[in-house]
Structure 1
Amino acid sequence: MEKFVNYSSVVIPIDRSNVDTDALIPKQFLKSVEKSGFGDNLFDEWRYLDQGEPGQDCSDRPLNTDFVLNKKAYRGGRILLARDNFGCGSSREHAVWALRDFGIRTVIAGSYADIFFNNCFKNGVLPISLPGADIDALFAQDAESGPCSMDIDLERQTATAESGQVYRFEIDGFKKQCLLEGLDDIALTLQHEGDIATYEQRRMNDVPWLFEDLAS
């Protein structure tokens, strides 16, 4: 998993509550268990005017020009702004894979569905929770001034708007360190590779008959 570094980006506003995982990545795209290749189908039913299918070339599909991801001013955005209960619905990890593959590294919302929230940390995406008044202020800034940028500083736990307003957020210390070091569950396990190998060898020496079939 790629290490999370501080960065600045335009903020992509999705002014909705209860954005569910089926909206993030519709069910027909769940056949693959690879973590890449989902970015073109992020918000597929909102982003395009036709029915998307797995493996389809999205470059020729008709776009919903009113949808924010299709607006030139927000292209390249790596921060997504939404309202309460983001990532609700089914537990599909593909929803986070789609965000990450599209380039989103941070989501800012009022609250999250628990499974989606935890899946973010396992895939290098930072989910920031802010009070409703702060979320309202960020949406108002976009509505009044157009696309706005923010600076994300995970080490200091701050998101700084163009206006200079600093929004501080809370994050579990262990999850924060995993993002900073780029550690997913597999990488965390491999940190103990030597201890695991030592245990396995000791186990084989103590009860060798359990491993006879493996040896053959």
Structure 2
Amino acid sequence: MEKFTVHTGQGAPLRVSDVDTDQIIPVRFLSRLTKRGYGEDLFADWREDPDFVLNRSPYDRATVLVAGTDFGTGSSREGAVYALVDHGFRAVIAPRFGDIFTGNAYRNGLLPVVVPVPAVEALWELLDREPGTAVTVDLEQCRVSAPGLEPVSFEVPEADRHRLLSGLDDIGLTMRHDEDIARYEARRRPALPTTARRAASSA
């Protein structure tokens, strides 16, 4: 997955709390076999309203979403994260997230940024007042900044911060131990099942 170090992009104010995963990506769209293509169905029911924030320029080009408390609650569907990433979002800023959504986000290159309610409200006011304003999310320094506002610090578990800074999904984390895996497989009895990688190399 793409590394996340420092991202500066157009912010979009989503002045809604308790956004669950069915609102992010309705279940009827969860039929794809890959992570691609979900972006077109992001917030599908809400986007039927022409005044929905992501239907309006310049917010339709946003890469940083600023949402209310309890974003990503509800079911554990990973498609909610797929949809946000496929649409182009790199970070979501909110006062609190659903726990499972947070884990899915870290594993798929989306940074969930927890900041206090006043910081979210200040960003909303700025983005409403000055559409097109860029928001900077700095994972190296763990802070959020925007023109005219005091930078706000946030915390990320160190293992997840390392994962994002290095651009490592679950497969990437596993393949850091490729040599150890190869040595283990070389010691196994030939009659036992093998991985596709070893089977291909011996063909």
Which TM-score applies when normalising by structure 1?
A: 0.85
1:201 corresponds to which residue? 186
Taking the TM superposition and a 5 Å limit, the aligned residue runs for 1:142-153 are 142-153=127-138
State the match for 1:58 in structure 2: none
Give 3-state SS (helix, strand or coil) of 2:8's partner.
strand
Kindly provide the amino acid, as one letter, of the partner of residue 152 in structure 2: Y
Identity of aligned residues (%): 42
Q: Which amino acid is the alignment partner of residue 6 of structure 2?
A: N
- Cα deviation, 1:76-120, whole Å, max 9, x if unaligned, reads 210001111100111000000000000000000010110000100
Deviations 1:114-154 (A, max 9, x none): 00001001000000000112122222223344443211211
Q: Which residue of 2 aligns with 1:36?
A: 36
1:210, distance to aligned residue in structure 2 (A) = 4.3
2:150 is matched with: 165
What is the count of residue pairs matched by the alignment?
196
Alignment of 1:55-204 (within 5 A): 64-204=49-189
Shift of 1:167: 1.0
Output the aligned Cα RMSD.
1.9
Contact preservation (8 Å) 2:7, 2:90: no
Ranges in structure 1 where 5+ consecutive residues have no aligned partner? 49-63
Structure 1 window deviating more from structure 2 (159-168 vs 184-193): it is 159-168
Deviation by residue 1:153-186 (Cα, 9 ceiling, x = unmatched): 1111111111142111111111111111110011
Q: TM-score, normalised by structure 2?
A: 0.90
Larger Rg computed on CA atoms: 1
Shift of the alpha carbon at 1:3? 1.1
Match of 1:15 in 2: 15
- Aligned to 1:65, the other structure's residue is in SS state coil
CA 209–145 in structure 1, closer or farther in 2 if over 3 Å, else same: closer
The residue type paired with residue 91 of structure 1 is S
Quick check: 2:13–2:128 contact (8 Å CA) kept in 1? no
Gap runs ≥5 in structure 2:
none
SS state of the match for residue 7, structure 1? strand
Give the structure 2 partner of residue 57 of structure 1. none
Distance 1:175 1:185 in 2: 11
